[in-house]
Chain A
Amino acid sequence: MTNLELSRVAPESALHESALIAGNGRLDLPVEIDPKPLGALLRPALYALEALAFPLALLGLWTLSSRLGWLPAQILPAPDQVAATLAELAGNGDLWFHTSISLLRVVQGFALGGTLGLLLGIAMGLSPRVRRSVEPLFTALAQVPPLGWIPVLMLLVGIDEGLKLLIIAKAALIPVALNTHKGIRNVPDSLREVGAVLAFDRWATLTRIVLPAAVPSIFTGVRYGLTSAWLALVAVELLASSEGLGYLMVWGRQLFQLDMVIAAMLVVGLVGFALDWTLSRVERRLQRWELAGS
């Protein structure tokens, strides 16, 4: 028991201990051992099919709609036209140019907002005084959506990169801070007691007990922070910008090229999906480690 409890304290030792127990260094859960190997092999393919069925049905409906002219072609262009536009944008480099600018903005805004959110979340999680004085206001401000900040921020910082950076940072800050706070507060008392038994000082308690135990929750915050940063980005780019994916949508709308708008939407969706998917993989890893450890 002590071994297992302790194994939650720090990742390296956790791996080490569990490996000893499992005997083969693998951390697989029993769930993955299937009595029917063929079914297990087919299952991922089946899941993929299930995941694709709905989008494919939508695509079919879209194709049908444009063939039968349910909606004017100017409002909902045919899928092949959108695909052609996407190919053209990719071919002439515009797509990469605008996507890279959007990604850069998100990285910058997220770095700022994520760092601040992490610090704020740790402070709120560790210090009851900070929590009491900051949490109510923080919760209230968190209710104001990114777009609600734009009018005030525009007056303060103008419509340049500063505005985009702040809106994206704000969008990222809130989930990171909330989840960090929650993660730290939810560290079981038993773990803290272990620290007390081992006579850890505050720093050691924080770095060896509290933070490692809170990692999965913090990471959930990072994941949601990045997703909401990406959402906020497109919103601010729609407003005032001369490049980026949101700008591409504005251009398409103004020049009545709805295929370009839809192409940009697809890219926004795919990039957002890729970001979220990657992070969810990492997150699952972290949670599995937590699960395996407990």
Chain B
Amino acid sequence: MKPFAKRISRTVMAAAAVLTVVTAAGSAFAEPVTIRFGFAQVGVGNRQFGSGNTAALLHSRDILAEEFRNAPDVTLDWSFFKGAGPAVNEAIANGQLDFALQGDLPSLVGRSNGLKTRILAASGLRSNLYLAVAPKSGIRSIADLKGRKVAQFRGTNLQLATDKLLAAHGLTERDIKFINMDFATATAALATGDIDAAFGQADYLALDAQGVAKVVYSTRGDDPAFTRHSHLLVTEAFEQAHPDVTYRVVKALVKAAAWASDEANREAVFAEWAKSGIPAETFRADFDGQALGYRNSPLIDDFLIAAYRDQAERAKGYRLVRGDVRIDGWFEPAYVDRAVAELGLAGTWKRYDAKGHQQTAAQ
């Protein structure tokens, strides 16, 4: 009982201290800005690194720190959430974050619940979904999952991708015994045989190589509609208060994306992401046969907006969100377009129309 009471009083004191600081900061004249940046991911064994997206490079390659090198009044604060997108939503609701790297479904869920955010750029497009099974499970395809015990990280963009995949095979979530597990827990449960299968990310390839699990399906080579997207978002409050800082964050992201889209850097990008603890060969295999720019483009084009519109529709259909999520007014391409022009990067990335076809040069 006592430690709990102590903890409460400590929390109260901490809250009071924060309140004092905030009030003091508010009354100061030229206030310093802290950019509180959250990642809906964390490295293996809690390593404080992201991977598989361009925002991770902002942090790991100090690109954002470089952008604000001569701005001593700007501080950067990075957080990585083991609880992924759902945890990021909670942090945004609590006013603890300004920017976030988050996946499509959690952001849709956040918006449907009234979180005031704007999507500034794409960061990690067309990410693959992997199905790993316990070697003894006998599962060889999506159809074999019926009635089996399968781990799923609920509320992340993998859930929506999974539901779409299941629907394409005539299944729904109710046909499968889904158990909510974060990525680390699911990996452990696969190894101990507590679950028959798990939907996850490219890091399952490493489990396959070790013989711990077998990857029996991935969206690689399948319909790109089953893939997932993530993006950089900002809270409306921060964007309104600091449009200039917001622009510089987007500009840094565009620089990171340009570096990560240059085929000459292919191995360097994977090595950078490997700081998360996921081996570089995992990314090599995951990106095999795809141009870097196809996945690392920051552009908000018709394809991206249409994709989110479709995700919103499906998320509603699967009852992952209640009601319609308004897509209009959510995306703010002005920053990213300006950065691309200013950095002389026009033409670096292809624009796609709503149907996913490459748009003609006239665009």
Contact = CB atoms under 8 A, between A and B. Distances in A.
A161 B86 CA distance: 27
B90 A75 contact: yes
Interface stretch (B106-114, B208-216, B289-297, B341-349): B106-114
A256 B94 CA distance: 13
B150 to A, nearest CB: 9
Contacts of B181: 240
Contacts of A73: 113-114
A257 interface: yes
Interface residues of B, number: 28
- Number of contact residues on A: which range applies? 20 to 34
Interface stretch (A123-131, A151-159, A190-198): A151-159
B115 interface: yes
Contacts of B43: none
Given A75-B90, A255-B109, A256-B113, A250 B154 contact: yes
Nearest to A251: B154
A241 interface: yes
B83 to A, nearest CB: 9
B363 interface: no
Which of A155, A158, A254, A257 counts the most B-chain CB atoms under 10 A from its CB?
A254
A255 B189 contact: no
Nearest to B176: A242
Interface in A142-171: 154-155, 158-160
A253 B115 CA distance: 15
B273 interface: no
A254 B155 contact: yes
Contacts of B110: 74, 256
B309 interface: no
A60 interface: no
Nearest to A73: B114
B89 interface: yes
Contacts of A154: 194
Given A159-B179, A254-B86, A255-B320, A75 B93 contact: yes
A74 B179 contact: no
Contacts of A256: 86, 89-90, 106, 109-110, 113, 155
Nearest to A250: B180
A253 B87 CA distance: 9
A159 B90 CA distance: 28
Interface string A57-73: 00000000000000011
Contact of A241 (B179, B193, B320): B179
Interface of A is mostly: loop
B192 interface: yes
Contacts of A257: 113, 322
B155 A242 contact: no
B287 interface: no
Interface string B166-190: 0000000000011111000000010
Contacts of A241: 179
A241 B180 CA distance: 8
A255 B90 contact: no
A253 B90 CA distance: 9
A159 B194 contact: yes
A240 B195 CA distance: 11
Interface string A227-258: 00000000000001110000100110111110
A72 B92 CA distance: 10
Contacts of A254: 86, 154-155, 180
A8 B84 CA distance: 63
Interface string A65-102: 00000001111000000000000000000000000000
Given A74-B113, A74-B114, A257-B113, A155 B192 contact: yes
Contacts of B194: 154, 158-160
Contacts of A75: 90, 93-94
Contacts of A155: 192
Nearest to B178: A242
Contacts of A160: 149, 194
A255 B114 contact: no
A240 B113 CA distance: 26
Contact of A240 (B86, B109, B179, B320): B179
B177 A242 contact: yes
B192 A74 contact: no
A186 to B, nearest CB: 28
B180 A255 contact: no
Contacts of A240: 179-181
Nearest to B193: A158
A159 B180 contact: no
A154 B179 CA distance: 15
B114 to A, nearest CB: 6
Interface in B279-323: 320-322
A251 B173 CA distance: 13
Nearest to B177: A242
A256 B95 CA distance: 15
B189 A74 contact: no
A255 B154 contact: yes
A72 B110 CA distance: 12
Contacts of A242: 149, 177-179
12 contacts: A73-B114, A74-B93, A74-B114, A160-B149, A241-B179, A251-B154, A253-B86, A254-B180, A256-B89, A256-B90, A256-B113, A257-B322
Interface of B: 86, 89-90, 93-95, 106, 109-110, 113-115, 149, 154-155, 177-181, 189, 192-195, 320-322
Given A72-B93, A160-B194, 12 more contacts: A72-B94, A74-B89, A74-B113, A75-B93, A155-B192, A159-B195, A240-B181, A242-B177, A251-B154, A253-B155, A256-B109, A257-B322
> Can you list the 5 inter-chain pairs with the closest CB atoms, starting with the nearest?
A254-B155, A254-B154, A74-B93, A242-B177, A72-B93
